[in-house]
Chain A
Amino acid sequence: MPFMPVKFNLQKRVKLAQGLWMIYWLSVIVGILLFSLGIFFKIELRKRSEMMDNNESHLVPNLLILVGLLACGVNAFGGKVCHDSLDPIKFAKWKPMLKPFLLLCCGFNALLLLTALLCFLMQFAVYLTLAEGLKNSIKFYKDTDTPGRCFMKRTLDLTQIEFRCCGNNNFRDWFEVQWISNRYLDMSNDLVKDRVLSNVEGKYLMDSVPFSCCNPGSPRPCIQHHLTNNSAHYDYDHRIEELNIWTRGCREALFSYFSSMMTSIGTCVLLVFLSVDMAGLKYLTTALETMEDPENPECESDGWLLEKGVKETFGDLLAKLKTLGKTNQVVEGGDAPEAAN
């Protein structure tokens, strides 16, 4: 008993072939889309790699690029097969390759599922990398004279302005590091010396933030220095003042940006997961094979998904796997009668 049989006459076969051809070429375009999404994601990761200590994992974009290219190839081949399927001479050329091709499609769909899963799961890795990377960025903000870190200040300022955020968790992260280089501190000044000596590590700490934390939407000019000192500024209460500097942390801002990107890419990959073209191709090939009279194109034929029922197919598959394993074993008592003959 074939699994899900359908009767096909000439009209239906032609329509099926044409429809499948369209679907395959649409899938090629979708493959190109996946490829470009992978490239876009890779570029975005590269752009912000300084914020992540150059430690970020490029697994997801590389996988997307690979999947996109594979999709293009597989679907283009499928389209060609469908295009040739109605011409028996050309189709005979493709017949032997069809079974491996369907198996390849299965494998490719599994790869798509894996990519979508990774898109959703790797967000945790990105979060952790961001946390670590931003902490180091803030620490190295002042090192504009150290080769390899000259542009950390510029990158961090740009990030804070672009993503409207301040610090790692919030603006208080800036109070814990020295973000003014010693080159610009007048060590002969008593105030400076006091401040440097006031903590164990000898850092010049203050309750100020860089200018890139300033919120342009604030009605008053930006207050950067002595943020927690209400009496240093007229009519200022730091506990209720929300518009002065950005209150969001950069880790949260960057993570929400990357997370939304990865979620939409993962959803897109899931939508691409099409079993329709596989089923259609299986129907088409079986319909063409079971034509009673190959010379008469008008005859009817049957098409199905599986030749026997689902259980029987699985039983056959398991038996085949078992025999594959047994071919290397010598069958006892089996050779003797043959040798006798």
Chain B
Amino acid sequence: MAVLRLKFTKNERDKLAQVLWILNWISVLTGILLFSLGLFLKVEINKRGELMAERDIQYVPNMLIAVGLIACAINFLGGKICYDCVDTNKFLRWKLIMLPYIICTFFFTFCVLVGALMCYSMRGELEESLNLGLTEAIRFYKDTDTPGRCFLKRTVDMLQMEFHCCGNNGYKDWFQIQWISNRYLDMSQKEVVDRLRSNVEGKYLMSGVPFSCCNLNSPRPCIQQHVTNNSAHFNYEHQTEALNLWMRGCREALLEYYTHIMQSIGLTVLLTWLFELSVLTGVRYLQTSLENVLRQGDLNSESDGWLLENSFMETARTNLNIIKCLGKGNQIDTANNGDPNINVPSTSKAHYGPDNVPLKEIPEAS
């Protein structure tokens, strides 16, 4: 019992081949699209590489790039095959390759699906990476004279201005670290020395934030210093003031940005997967109908096309047997002490001569 058997006339076969040729070329374009989406994601992640701790998140864009390139190649070959399928002579050229090609493409579509699912699963790793990375970045904000960290201040400032965020979880993160370098602190002043001595680690902590945390939408000029001290500013209450600084944390802002990108990419990859699967189904039907036509002999007649010749169970069983025999090909037969030169009489009955006649033993040569 074939799976999803369909009849194809000669015209229908030709039309199917032509349509599949066009669809394969469209799939090449979607392969290029996948490749460029992977490249885009890689560039976006590397742009903010300074703010992310070392985590294994490069595998997602790399996978997308590889899948895109392989999709281009496979669909290019598929297009060539379908173009040749209209002419039966040319089809004979491809006859032997078609079945392996279909099997390879089938497994490849699994890779595409895995790529799509990975896009959605990256979020957890990304969040952890951002958390650690941003904590480090805020800690090293003041080290503009340390080689390798000179531009961290600029990166963090631009990030806070662009994404409208402040600190890791919120603006209070800035209160817990020293973000003004000692080079700009007047150690001879009593207030500075007092503040340095007021905590265990000797850090100059204050309830102030950098200018990049300032909210553009605030109707009053930005209050950066003494943020939690209501009496330091006229008509100011920090508990109710929501427009003065950016309230959102940068980790949340960046995570939302990247999640949005990856959801769109994941959706595109899923749609590409469905498209590839449908093209593959068409190619399978084309292959089986052309082989049946060749078997029948008459090139202009109708023929059947199917997905699988027998039902699922039988096909699975046959394939498992083939795999088992492949495995057994190297094993030696353990009868006769393993000597292959001894003639072992056949145990199956031959269908010539009367039954129940014992077979003569061939006398051994002396």
Residues of A with Cβ closer than 8 Å to B?
144-145, 150, 153-154, 157-158, 161, 179-181, 183-186, 189, 210-212, 214, 216-217, 219-222, 224, 233-235
B59 part of interface (Cβ distance < 8 Å) = no
Name which of A157, A189, A221, A222 has the most chain B CB atoms within 10 A of its CB.
A221
Q: How distant is the Cα of A216 from the Cα of B157 in the complex, in angstroms?
A: 6
Q: Please indicate the chain B residues that have their CB under 8 angstroms from the CB of A181 in the complex.
A: 219-220
B224 part of interface (Cβ distance < 8 Å) = yes
Q: Among residues 222 to 256 in chain B, which have CB atoms less than 8 Å away from a CB atom of chain A?
A: 222, 224, 233-235
Q: How distant is the Cα of A249 from the Cα of B61 in the complex, in angstroms?
A: 42
Q: How distant is the Cα of A179 from the Cα of B219 in the complex, in angstroms?
A: 11
Q: How distant is the Cα of A216 from the Cα of B150 in the complex, in angstroms?
A: 12
Complex: chain A residue closest to B188, CB-CB: A234
Q: Please indicate the chain B residues that have their CB under 8 angstroms from the CB of A144 in the complex.
A: 219-220
Check B154 against A216 for contact (C-beta < 8 Å). yes
Question: Given that A216-B153, A216-B157, A220-B184 are contacting pairs, would A158 and B216 also be in contact in the complex, using a CB cutoff of 8 Å?
Answer: yes
How many chain B residues touch A (CB < 8 A): the figure is 29
Check A184 against B153 for contact (C-beta < 8 Å). no
Complex: chain A residue closest to B158, CB-CB: A216
Q: What's the dominant secondary structure at chain B's contact region?
A: loop
> Nearest chain A CB to B140's CB is how many angstroms away?
13
Complex: chain B residue closest to A154, CB-CB: B216
Question: Given that A216-B161, A221-B180, A235-B183 are contacting pairs, would A180 and B154 also be in contact in the complex, using a CB cutoff of 8 Å?
Answer: no
Q: How distant is the Cα of A295 from the Cα of B362 in the complex, in angstroms?
A: 101
B144 part of interface (Cβ distance < 8 Å) = yes
Please tell me which one of the listed residues A158, A184, A185, A222 contacts residue B210 in the complex, with CB atoms under 8 A apart. Answer: A222
Complex: chain B residue closest to A157, CB-CB: B216
Check B221 against A180 for contact (C-beta < 8 Å). yes
Complex: chain A residue closest to B143, CB-CB: A219
B289 part of interface (Cβ distance < 8 Å) = no
Q: Please indicate the chain B residues that have their CB under 8 angstroms from the CB of A185 in the complex.
A: 234
Question: Given that A179-B221, A183-B235 are contacting pairs, would A221 and B216 also be in contact in the complex, using a CB cutoff of 8 Å?
Answer: no
Q: What's the dominant secondary structure at chain A's contact region?
A: loop
> Nearest chain B CB to A338's CB is how many angstroms away?
77
> Nearest chain A CB to B315's CB is how many angstroms away?
55
Q: Please indicate the chain B residues that have their CB under 8 angstroms from the CB of A184 in the complex.
A: 220-221, 233-235
**Contact string against A for B residues 264-281, beta-carbon threshold 8 Å, 1 for contact and 0 otherwise:** 000000000000000000
B83 part of interface (Cβ distance < 8 Å) = no
> Nearest chain A CB to B101's CB is how many angstroms away?
41
Residues of B with Cβ closer than 8 Å to A?
144-145, 150, 153-154, 157-158, 161, 179-181, 183-186, 210-212, 214, 216-217, 219-222, 224, 233-235
Provide a sorted-by-A list of 18 A–B residue pairs whose CB atoms are within 8 angstroms. A144-B220, A157-B216, A161-B161, A180-B220, A189-B234, A210-B221, A212-B214, A216-B153, A216-B212, A219-B144, A219-B153, A219-B181, A221-B179, A221-B210, A221-B211, A233-B184, A235-B183, A235-B186
Q: Please indicate the chain A residues that have their CB under 8 angstroms from the CB of B186 in the complex.
A: 234-235
Q: How distant is the Cα of A161 from the Cα of B164 in the complex, in angstroms?
A: 13
Q: How distant is the Cα of A234 from the Cα of B186 in the complex, in angstroms?
A: 6
Question: Given that A219-B153, A221-B210 are contacting pairs, would A234 and B184 also be in contact in the complex, using a CB cutoff of 8 Å?
Answer: yes
Q: How distant is the Cα of A210 from the Cα of B222 in the complex, in angstroms?
A: 8
Q: Please indicate the chain A residues that have their CB under 8 angstroms from the CB of B217 in the complex.
A: 154
> Nearest chain A CB to B91's CB is how many angstroms away?
39
Complex: chain B residue closest to A155, CB-CB: B216
Question: 19 extra interchain contacts, Cβ-Cβ under 8 A, other than A158-B216, A161-B161, A186-B235?
Answer: A153-B216, A179-B221, A180-B221, A183-B235, A184-B233, A184-B234, A185-B234, A210-B221, A210-B222, A211-B222, A214-B211, A216-B161, A217-B154, A219-B145, A220-B183, A221-B211, A222-B211, A224-B211, A234-B185
Question: Given that A210-B222, A216-B154, A216-B161 are contacting pairs, would A235 and B211 also be in contact in the complex, using a CB cutoff of 8 Å?
Answer: no
Q: Please indicate the chain B residues that have their CB under 8 angstroms from the CB of A214 in the complex.
A: 211-212
> Nearest chain A CB to B241's CB is how many angstroms away?
12
Q: Please indicate the chain B residues that have their CB under 8 angstroms from the CB of A180 in the complex.
A: 220-221
Q: How distant is the Cα of A122 from the Cα of B110 in the complex, in angstroms?
A: 60
Q: Please indicate the chain A residues that have their CB under 8 angstroms from the CB of B184 in the complex.
A: 220-221, 233-235
Check A186 against B234 for contact (C-beta < 8 Å). yes
Shortest 5 CB-CB contacts between residues of A and residues of B: A216-B157, A186-B234, A144-B219, A219-B144, A234-B186
